Amino acid sequence: MAELGSNTKEAVGQIVEGSNECLVMREKKGVDLELGDLIAVDSGNKKFITMVSALEYGSNIDVERIYRSAGTELEKQHYDVAFLDPDINLFRKVLTKILLEVKVEGGKLKARSPRSIPEFMSKARMVDEGDFSFLETPEDKITIGKLRSGSKRLKCDYCMDGSKMLSHHVLISAQTGRGKSNLVKVMLWEAMKHERFGVLVLDVHNEYHGSGNQAGLKDHPKARDRLVYYSKDPPPGQRALKINLRSIDPQDIVGVLNLSEAQSEAAYLFRNKFGRDWIKGIMGNGDDKVSPSTLRALRRKFENLFRMVEQADGSYSCNSDVFSMEAVGESTVRDMADDLEKGKVVLIDGSSISDDTGLVIMSAILEDVFRRYEGYKTRGELDVVPQLAVVLEEAPRVLAEGTTSNIFSRIAREGRKFKIGLVAITQLVSVIPIDILANIGTKIIMGNEMAFERQKLIDSAAQDLSAYGQIIAGLDKGESIVSSIFSQFPVPVYTPLFDEVVRDEKELGGTGYQERRTTKFY
C-alpha cells in the first residue's frame, strides 16, 4: 500500500496565511531557509510540494517601537529597549509556491498540478527523497543530475525519457561560466549508454572528446562502439575530417553564408547545370544567366570558405585542410549519416575550423539524414530507427529571424515529425523567434543575470515561472531549472562535474548512474 511519506521530520515552519497563488509560512527560529528550497506540507490525506519563492521579515511588535529601538542602538543611546520574547515576536515570513499535490489513489501515489491548498496552520518540513517515490524510471533515461532543494542536493538522480526529450527539442540557456558545456558532456555520456540515440555535435572548443589525461567521451566504457570522432589531426583509431566538395549542395551554403537573392539563385542554377560538380563549375565557368558581378561575389565567398586559389591557367585548386576537389572525402558525409543512424555520437572537432565551415559540414550531414528519415516516415518505418539529435552551439547564429532557409531552422520547426531533434545552446534566447521557442519542449535554464533574457525564458517555459526570476539570477555553476512539457513542475537540478561522472562510472564498474536510484518527471 502506497504511503504519502513520513511526516515525523522536524517542522521548519507553519502555514499562517496565503492562497493557491502563494502560501505564507512562519519560519521556525534558526532554520534559515533560502530561495528555491523545496518544502513539503503534509495535510490530511494529501501532501503538497512547495518552493520558497520569497523571504520577508515579520513581527508582532509595533513598527514605531522597532524603529525606535534601532535608532537607540545606532545613536548609542542607553534606554532599555529590549523586546519581550524576541523569539516569539520577531520572525521571518516565507512565501512559497505550490508545485505539486500528491495523494494516494487506488493504492498508488499520484501527483498532479495543485487544485487545492493545505489545511490552515499545517506544519511544513524539508523534502527528502521519499517525497518523490511516486516517480518512475524511463527505459531510455538520460540522467541530467541530482534533484536539488535550493543549494542542497538530494540523494536522488533526475532523469528524463531521452526519446521524448530529444524528439521535442532541448534549449540550454545560461551566461558564460554557468556550466553549459559540462551539462552537454554529461548528457552525451548518458546518451552513449543506449543504441537508440544518434547525436551530431560540432565541438567548437574540442572539449568533449578528451585527450591524454583529460577526461572526455573517449573514456566511456562503450566509446569503441558508440563514439566516432572526426578531426583535422585525429588521434589513433579516429577519423580524418575531409569533405569532398561534391558532397556540398547549395542549401548547405545558402542557409549559412550571407548570400544575396541573386547569389542564391546563381548557386542553384549551377547545381542544376553541373550536378554535384556545381562548385567547380562556379569557379571555372561563366553563365549568360548570371551577371559577372554576382559570379565574382560568389567566387570571393567560395575562395574564403573553401580556400580556393586561382592558378596561372585561370583554373582553381582547393587548398583547404578540410575540403577537397579531388577524389578524397567523397564518402565522409555519408559515413557520418550512417553512424548517426546506427545510434552513435558523432563528434566533429571544430576548434581549428571556422564557424561557417563547421555549419556547412553540419548542414550537409543533416540534409542527408533528413532525406533518409523522410523516407522512413513515408514507408512507415520510423519507429524502428534511432532518435537523432544535433547539438547546436550559439544557436541564434542559425535560428534567428530571417534564417528560415537552413536545415537547422527546419529541424526546429518540423524535426519532431521525423525523429530529429535539436539541442540548442545559447546565452541570448531573446533573438530566437517565438515560434521556435514554442516548439522546444524542454528548457534547461541555468544562471542568467540579464533580466530581459530571464523574462524571455519565463514567458516561453512549459510551467509558470513567474516566481523564479530572482532564483534564476542566483543559480550557481551546475545548477538549473528544468521546465519541460514532460514534467509536472519546474525541476531544480544540479549537474555534477563531468570528471566526477567519469570517476563514478569507473568505481561502479562501468554501470555508473544506471545502478543508482533514478527518477522520471512527466
CA gap 200, 412 in Å, rounded: 15
Q: CA separation (Å) from 368 to 244, 251, 278?
A: 15, 12, 18
Q: What is the largest CA-CA distance in the chain?
A: 101
Give the H or E element holding residue 123: strand 123-126
Take residue 314 and report the three cell numbers written for it: 585561370
Contact by Cβ (8 Å): 162, 194? yes
C-alpha 171: how far from chain center? 4
503's CB contacts (< 8 A; 6+ apart) are none
pLDDT at residue 80 in the model: 59
pLDDT at residue 81 in the model: 59
Contact by Cβ (8 Å): 48, 100? yes
CA gap 306, 157 in Å, rounded: 46
CA gap 411, 390 in Å, rounded: 9
C-alpha 55: how far from chain center? 30
pLDDT at residue 514 in the model: 42
- In three-state form (DSSP H/G/I as H, E/B as E, the rest C), the secondary structure along 177-213 is CCCHHHHHHHHHHHHCCCCCEEEEEEECCCCCCCCCC
Please, where are the H alpha helices in 154-291? Answer: 162-167, 180-191, 223-226, 250-254, 261-274, 278-284
Contact by Cβ (8 Å): 11, 43? no
Task: Tell me the mean pLDDT per 10 residues along the chain, length 522.
Answer: 64 96 95 96 93 94 84 73 72 96 84 93 94 85 94 92 96 92 96 95 93 91 96 92 96 87 93 93 83 92 92 86 92 97 97 93 97 97 96 87 82 95 94 92 95 94 93 95 94 96 81 44 40
Domains of the chain: 13-132 (no CATH), 141-236+343-520 (3.40.50.300), 246-324 (no CATH)
CA gap 289, 287 in Å, rounded: 5
Contact by Cβ (8 Å): 458, 465? yes
Q: What sign does the CA torsion over 256, 258, 261, 267 have?
A: negative
In this prediction the pTM is 0.91
Q: Print burial letters for 407-437: b (CB count within 10 Å at least 16), e (below 16).
A: bbbbbbbebbebbbbbbbbbbbbeebbeebb
pLDDT at residue 512 in the model: 47
**Residues belonging to the chain:** 522
pLDDT at residue 424 in the model: 95
Q: What sign does the CA torsion over 457, 463, 464, 469 have?
A: negative
pLDDT at residue 1 in the model: 46
First-to-final CA distance of the chain = 22
pLDDT at residue 133 in the model: 84
pLDDT at residue 165 in the model: 97
315's CB contacts (< 8 A; 6+ apart) are 283, 284
CA gap 104, 111 in Å, rounded: 9
